[in-house]
Amino acid sequence: MLSKRFLQIEDHRKASIKYKLHDFFMSAFAMIYFQDPSLLLFQERLQTAYNKNNLKTMFDIESIPKDSQLKDNTV
């Protein structure tokens, strides 16, 4: 439900963006959900341990922003 809502938000940023707003918002939500200080390291640990990308399957995130981008709001 949250993912669908984020997809409805119109993106007014310039064309030279690296991450979709949906991926940014869902990554921030996943970081809170899993209570992990580093979302990217958490993702890498899952991929290595289980050969699965939980963020893509659970949260429909195509591209994961780096932690610094989430904290600095520089998407």
pLDDT for 36: 76
Answer yes or no: is 7 within a domain.
Answer: no
pLDDT for 24: 84
For residue 63, what are its two tokens?
Answer: 């591209």
Residue with tokens 């200080």: 37
How high is the mean pLDDT in each 10-residue block of the chain (75 residues)?
Answer: 90 77 86 78 78 76 71 53
pLDDT for 38: 78
Distance CA 26, CA 50 (A): 21
Side-chain-side CA neighbours of 7 within 13 Å: the count stands at 8
Answer yes or no: is 28 within a domain.
Answer: no
Looking at residue 38, what DSSP letter applies? Answer: -
Answer yes or no: is 46 within a domain.
Answer: yes
Answer yes or no: is 75 within a domain.
Answer: yes
User: Residue 51 belongs to what domain range?
Assistant: 35-75
pLDDT for 53: 66
pLDDT for 64: 74
